[in-house]
Amino acid sequence: MKNRDLLAVVEENARKWLSGSFDKETREKVKAMLASDDKEELINAFYKNLEFGTGGLRGVMGVGINRMNIYTVGAATQGLSNYLKNAFASLPEIKVAIGHDCRNNSREFSETAAKIFSANGFKVYLFDDLRPTPELSFAIRALGCQSGIILTASHNPKEYNGYKAYWDDGSQIVAPHDVAIVEEVKKVDVADILWDGDENNITILDEEFDKKFIEKAISVIINPDVVERQKDLKIVFTPIHGTGVKLVPDSLAAAGFTNVIHVPEQDVVSGDFPTVVSPNPEEPAAMEMAMKKAVETDADIVMATDPDADRIGVCTKNDKGEWIIINGNQTALLFLYYIITQYKKRGKIKGNEYIVKTIVTTELIAEIARKNDIEYFDCYTGFKYIAEVIRDNEGTKKYIGGGEESFGFMPADFVRDKDSVTSCVLMAEIAAWAKDQGKSLYEMLKTIYTEYGFSKEKMKYVVRKGQRGAEEIKQMMEQFRNNPPSELGGARLAVVKDYLTLTEKNLVTNDSKPIDQKVTSDVLQFFTEDGSKISVRPSGTEPKIKFYFEVKSELNNPDDFDSVDERAGEKINLLMEQLVK
């Protein structure tokens, strides 16, 4: 689309927001944007509708169809309501649950949605205050709801907010419902939205419901005797200003841990995230205060959650006594290694157990599963796809854990999304078990690498904002797809997997075969003859193109870890220089 044509469409979209259906403040802001000589803000706010991606509806707060505000929230809620009425037409009553995180406007957006759902005749369960995302997922199943939403932008910067929609199994919405709901939302005019709620249809959920969730969270403990012996484990925990502030410490206490150390400055709930630039436990800067507290208190482990408490960050001491962040791949490794080995030790393996990982997550997880005769599944990025695997195997196979590289893990299927609350309980047990064995989590990782093979992973992204950036990202993917490199890091390219065409091509044999996935996705994967894996995909929730690197090696002696790790890092840097421009 030419710039002139695009601007005409944008201006047409914006003028619709000058009608009396919108409040005066909104109309004035739109007028100013239309009158400005610089059309960049106008274009970015009105060039497209926010759509459901891997993490639902997410965007910068402000006026416009491509922004988070009460009107886009209202249209999404009305469109979802219209879809639910058709999908569950045979039910006498449709029920939905609503939660929100600490972000600015999250409470207003959640109350707006509650009114609209109730005005559509639905039974609405609304939490009385901010709650972790996994508790919303749990509530949908526990209360027999057909859907649910949570207002959150996960770990995005403070100017963002978002809207995650869930189905009746407690998972985020997948195909075909996701696309169909988007179509319903597109049909909604602001005049169609039923704004005037019915308070009689709204039930408030409070601390009594929290107790039910906590009871389930502590049910994942495998070795209660270990927890009892190590109950005074020194655990530093930070919610990074978010919703984990209460339920994580309460769950750890319910599990039997008596020595949870807080970071008071970050216990302050705030959508401005005053102590960090980015409230993301993947970022070292976000973990600095917690690691400083760990040094002061000689702690055993540091754990953190992001603003909506679905992601878990973990820190441990290395063999030099320095506090380091365990990356998401390593966190998933620790979880699944512990679950599988301890289930086997306790005689809990019955033969129908399975685990799930995403396609960009370390292949070492698959190796652990294979060597222990545990079935594993690969799925797309996003826990809605892990939940879909669970749904497909409901009643015939037993899910025992699943995770992804971006600090997400789900220890049990009573939640069908990333669950940092339950994960914190289980990770505390793992740290207690390691200490019981005279080890740290760092030493435990080296044991895993020695037994199953070494891998090192790193993710890098390129940011391209706005409509222009979206076009650049699209062109980058087309270039990789049409002109893949012949070699990477000095090794010949052996296999290319294209999830947009669901085709796997072996460049050595020149054979092709289909990829077993239900739907397509704009993801490319390159596998080299020396075992390296590089995945490339546009982010579904942010203006980024992401590159995931994994290189393999052997670690025959734990004492050689540093040298093996250094060489792997050099290999990843070489791959980055070649691919990320």
Active site residues: 154
Provide φ and ψ at 538, rounded to 5°.
-70, 145
Q: Count the residues in the chain.
A: 581
Could you tell me which of 178, 177, 176, 180 has the C-alpha nearest to residue 518? 176
State which amino acid sits at residue 247.
L
Residue 456 exposed, middle or buried by CB count within 10 Å (0-12, 13-18, 19+): buried
Q: Do the beta carbons of residue 113 and residue 106 sit within 8 Å?
A: no
| Residue 61 Ramachandran class (φ > 0 left, ψ -120 to 50 alpha, else beta) | beta
Neighbouring C-alpha atoms within 13 Å toward the C-beta of 437: 13
Residue listed under structure tokens 């699944």:
336
Residue listed under structure tokens 């939905």:
96
Token couple for 31: 């007028």
Q: 491 pairs with which residues across the strands?
A: 488
DSSP state of 173: P
Within its chain, how far is the Cα of 564 from the centroid?
Answer: 30
Could you tell me which of 309, 40, 305, 368 has the C-alpha nearest to residue 150? 309
CA distance 234 to 557: 30
Within its chain, how far is the Cα of 342 from the centroid?
Answer: 26
Could you tell me which of 517, 522, 578, 572 has the C-alpha nearest to residue 548? 572
ω before 176 within 30° of 0 (cis)? yes
The three-point CA angle 179-180-184 to 5° equals 120
Residue listed under structure tokens 């289930």:
343
CA distance 358 to 410: 12
Q: What are the respective helix, strand and coil percentages of the chain, to the nearest 5?
A: 45, 20, 35
**Measured distance between the N- and C-terminal CA atoms of the chain, rounded to whole angstroms:** 26
Residue listed under structure tokens 């509806």:
57
Q: 315 pairs with which residues across the strands?
A: 302, 325
Could you tell me which of 541, 540, 536, 543 has the C-alpha nearest to residue 481? 536
